[in-house]
């Protein structure tokens, strides 16, 4: 069989069908400075235009050999669409992601989600960017993502309020998370309808080093399950941080695969999940791809170790930081494609 395109490779993997080799792809941001520069833009501008977003994603994938294009890039879009003002740092030459300097609500009861949220702020850019990528890079699968409700709550209110409220204001927290769950379902469905090829629910604020497994089971898991049940496949669940005690529950939430970061013991995780579950991760996105002190050989060994530990696809543990070391990034992708020709636990080879 001839070599698969990235889109064929990733979509077959997500269906657990045999592929030619392991993909290097993500459910989170994969835009890197070489792609941004090649597209002719500066970093702040890629967050505010559909064409700039699309072309920076395309060039990032093509220059580095990524098996996907992923949009959007920042976590503030929904909060902005709800009425918060963001800072884009448009005059900065540094890599600064948009932030929310001031939040308009000071209590959970005040939060209101506009019925027409899909038409507000920068959210209308995403369907347009999806359309551009589909036309200009049909070989690439398009990934989109949504923050989970707990992490999203921290984008519209002070996170400490939510963390304390889990124990002291349970009903208010539940009402807020339910509102946000409905919003996340709505936005995710819209992006799937616009043509994204897979979608990731990412909930970095609920790892076991932040919330107890019991709180995850009682407060977080039901909402993640409701979201994933409402979305079409392919759909993934990603949680950053310490996830070893959460893996079984993560898998029970109903996604087509589980993705983790560097704090997860992948070899032990594979034993917990068994060989039928799509299990992806867990590249160290600073040390291996951005730190100039890391030799290329070390990055190569890192990738081989991840594959040997039993994952089905090499995936960054979080958003790639854009200021990569080109040599190391290329080595990570090349090693994945070359060393990943052997079957993985859940996915065979053609």
Q: What are the extents of the domains in the chain?
A: 6-31+65-72+103-339
Burial of 276: CB neighbours in 10 Å, binned 0-12, 13-18, 19+: exposed
The 10s digit of each residue's pLDDT in 150-200 is 999 999 998 888 888 988 899 999 999 999 999 999 999 999 999 999 999
Sorted by sequence, the CB contacts under 8 Å of residue 175 that are 6+ apart come out as: 108
How much of the chain exceeds pLDDT 70, in percent? 99
Q: Give the pLDDT confidence score for residue 159 in this predicted structure.
A: 83
Q: Supply the pTM of this predicted model.
A: 0.97
Rg (CA), the chain: 19
**313-316 and 279-283: which strand pairing?**
parallel
The 10s digit of each residue's pLDDT in 42-67 is 999 999 999 999 999 999 999 999 99
Angstrom distance (rounded) from CA 36 to CA 160: 35
Burial of 179: CB neighbours in 10 Å, binned 0-12, 13-18, 19+: middle
At the second CATH level, the architecture of 6-31+65-72+103-339 is Alpha-Beta Barrel (3.20)
């Amino acid at each position: 069989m001839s070599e698969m395109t990235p889109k064929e490779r990733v979509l077959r993997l997500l269906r657990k069908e045999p592929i030619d080799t392991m993909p290097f792809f993500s459910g989170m941001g994969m835009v890197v400075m070489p792609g941004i520069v090649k597209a002719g833009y500066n970093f702040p501008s890629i967050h505010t235009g559909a064409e700039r977003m699309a072309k920076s994603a395309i060039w990032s994938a093509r220059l580095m050999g990524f098996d996907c294009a992923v949009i959007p890039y920042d976590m503030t879009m929904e909060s902005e669409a709800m009425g918060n003002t963001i800072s884009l740092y448009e005059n900065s030459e540094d890599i600064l992601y948009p932030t929310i300097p001031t939040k308009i609500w000071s209590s959970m009861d005040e939060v209101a989600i506009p019925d027409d949220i899909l038409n507000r702020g920068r959210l209308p850019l995403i369907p347009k960017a999806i359309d551009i990528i589909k036309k200009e890079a049909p070989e690439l699968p398009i990934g989109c993502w949504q923050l989970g409700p707990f992490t999203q709550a921290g984008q519209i209110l002070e996170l400490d309020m939510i963390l304390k409220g889990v124990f002291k204001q349970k009903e208010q927290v539940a009402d807020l998370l339910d509102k946000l769950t409905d919003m996340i379902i709505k936005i995710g469905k819209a992006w799937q309808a616009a043509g994204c090829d897979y979608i990731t629910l990412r909930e970095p604020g609920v790892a076991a080093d932040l919330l107890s497994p019991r709180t995850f089971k009682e407060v977080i898991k039901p909402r993640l399950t409701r979201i994933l049940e409402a979305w079409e496949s392919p759909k993934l669940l990603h949680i950053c941080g310490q996830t070893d005690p959460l893996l079984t529950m993560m898998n029970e939430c109903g996604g087509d695969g589980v993705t983790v970061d560097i704090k997860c013991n992948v070899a032990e995780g594979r034993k917990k999940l068994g060989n039928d579950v799509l299990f992806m991760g867990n590249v160290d996105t600073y040390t291996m791809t951005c730190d100039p002190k890391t030799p290329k050989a070390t990055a190569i060994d890192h990738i081989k170790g991840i594959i040997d530990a039993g994952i089905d696809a090499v995936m960054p543990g979080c958003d790639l930081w854009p200021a990569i070391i080109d040599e190391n990034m290329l080595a990570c992708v090349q090693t994945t494609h070359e060393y990943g020709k052997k079957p993985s636990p859940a996915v065979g080879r053609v």
